[in-house]
Structure 1
Amino acid sequence: MNRWLLVLLLAFSFFAKAQETDDLFKGITLCIKKPIDTLNYLKKIETDKTLYVGKSLSYLLNNMTQIEPKTIWKIPKHGIRKLVSESVFSFNKKSPFIYKHIVSLIITWNEPIPYSDVEYYEQKNHFIFTNEERHFYGSKIIKDIKVYR
């Protein structure tokens, strides 16, 4: 008889705990954000590049609502190392030059940027795209946009 009473008490205890747990989560809605497909998102920007060519980088960044660049890397102008003609924007903190399969957005600038100006921010922020870089590059005019993986 004592065994049955113990079993009944355990079952009742479990049922009461289950009810208590259900009440805790009542009214909570789970919102799971779907991960973004970076390559397709950036390819769409590349396809629509006519919207951005001739405009400032800040215009492009303001329209990039789903992701933001994490790092920025310089590409010197061919034959003139004192000028930067292109910048590579990466959307994770890994180098696009070392790791394979990194999706990168390459911006060709309308006017080359002095190498020393770009190098200052690279050394200061270690290639991380901070608000300082956003401000510095924000007024630069886009000549072309390419996406690489």
Structure 2
Amino acid sequence: VLETGHSWRLGEAWRGGPVILSWADAQAGGRGAAHGANVVLHEFAHKLDMEDGNAEGTPVLYSDAQYDEWHRVMNRAYDRLRGRLWWKYRGWGDDLVLDPYGATDAAEFFAVATEAFFERPRALRRRWRDLYTVLKDYYRQDPAARVIGYLRVLPRYERAVGLGE
């Protein structure tokens, strides 16, 4: 269903319902990962979170041990983000890697962390190592390793096709 008009929402994920996306923002998220925002990843993270019927920042995991580790790491990372925002908004601090919107609640934190995991994986792994690890275990992939491999191949590819000269 296509609806045109202005809306303040970038996207919505409804429990038991559809995912609604701003097409312009979905396209923008697909153009590049440097900014770390991707409404498609964000809203589908909410759908994964809602798989058990609740939107509380914890998707369905694989084991009790994984739930224990998830809660330990996610709670600490969420608190850390909230603490760093105090400094960031006073003009101190560095790039948070995570969108400040993640400090809203645990569900938004998971969605924002998912965006960073896929969009800025090396930065997330460097600055939020435990968070990166639990997301890597959940998603069963390592995008930081994939990005590093891509960066090694890119210069050779550009030379081969005559780019970047």
TM-score by length of 1: 0.22
Q: Which has the higher strand share?
A: 1
The higher radius of gyration belongs to 1
The structure richer in helix per residue is 2
